[in-house]
Amino acid sequence: MEPADNCRRAAFEAVADVEPARLHDLVEAILDGASMVPGALTVESTARAGTDVSTSLEEPTTDTDPVLTQAAGVQLIYEGLRLTRTIAHDEPWTDPDSAVDGDLEILAADILVARGFYLLARTDAAGKAVQTVRTFGRDQTRRDDLEGIDPTTIDANLERDVLELAVRTGAASAGEPPSSRLLAFADDLADDVAPSFPPASECLSELDPRRSELEESTTDRATSATDP
């Protein structure tokens, strides 16, 4: 199964106990239609010394795979913040017919972020997850007050921070900090796709010419770990 499909399945499992049914259905609908770029990039960034990344992505994984669990955490945090951003820009409460749906969406966003934090809480990426949420809140608070700055540039900070969170989470799952090359890789990708993500299959297809760069970053890290 492809990394994006594995990540989506892990995300579904993380919210399987959400109640009531209407709220659960909304959360699942959000994940069902989501691009899995953050989660899939987390998996790609799990750099194991001596492992060919392009090959490891094709290997089957189990439901309890910690890498997938952490990838789901990154994905859930992003989906919750993305939904919050959408609601903040187009408040549903101005229309009485949409008010109830708006309340459910706010609850869904809170649940997604909270579950994402839970999955990353005991990892070395937890600090970056907290920073991502704090930066998002600050950006959205000041978004309309910054003169001469395109608001979409502010919005794009979320995707940039989430991609950094993805590579830091993936590297941390292997017990190593991300290399500067891997961080630059995420930053370049953010330039290409923010402030939204295309379907994971499309985005990952576009990554193929850069895959050697990603593999080089894992080799760099493996080499540095064995240097005296």
Query: Which tokens hold the place of 46?
Result: 């799990």
Mean pLDDT of 221-228: 49
Name the more confident of 95 and 186: 186
Q: Is the pLDDT of residue 123 over 60?
A: yes
CATH top-level class for 3-222? mainly alpha
pLDDT (0 to 100) of residue 199: 85
Which runs of consecutive H residues, i.e. helices, occur in the chain?
3-14, 21-32, 37-44, 53-56, 66-89, 99-120, 126-142, 151-173, 180-193, 200-207, 211-226
CA distance 119 to 145: 34
pLDDT (0 to 100) of residue 205: 61
Max avg pLDDT among 102-106, 162-166, 216-220 = 162-166
Confidence of residue 180 (pLDDT cuts 50, 70, 90): confident
Q: Is the pLDDT of residue 137 over 80?
A: yes
pLDDT (0 to 100) of residue 19: 95
Mean pLDDT of 22-41: 95
**pTM of the predicted structure, to 2 decimals:** 0.83
Domains of the chain, residue spans: 3-222
Confidence of residue 178 (pLDDT cuts 50, 70, 90): confident
Max avg pLDDT among 27-31, 139-143, 198-202 = 27-31
pLDDT (0 to 100) of residue 13: 97
For 30-53, b where at least 16 C-beta lie within 10 A, e where not — what string? bbeebbbbbbbbbbbbbbbeeeeb
Backbone angles phi, psi at 171, to 5 degrees: -65, -40
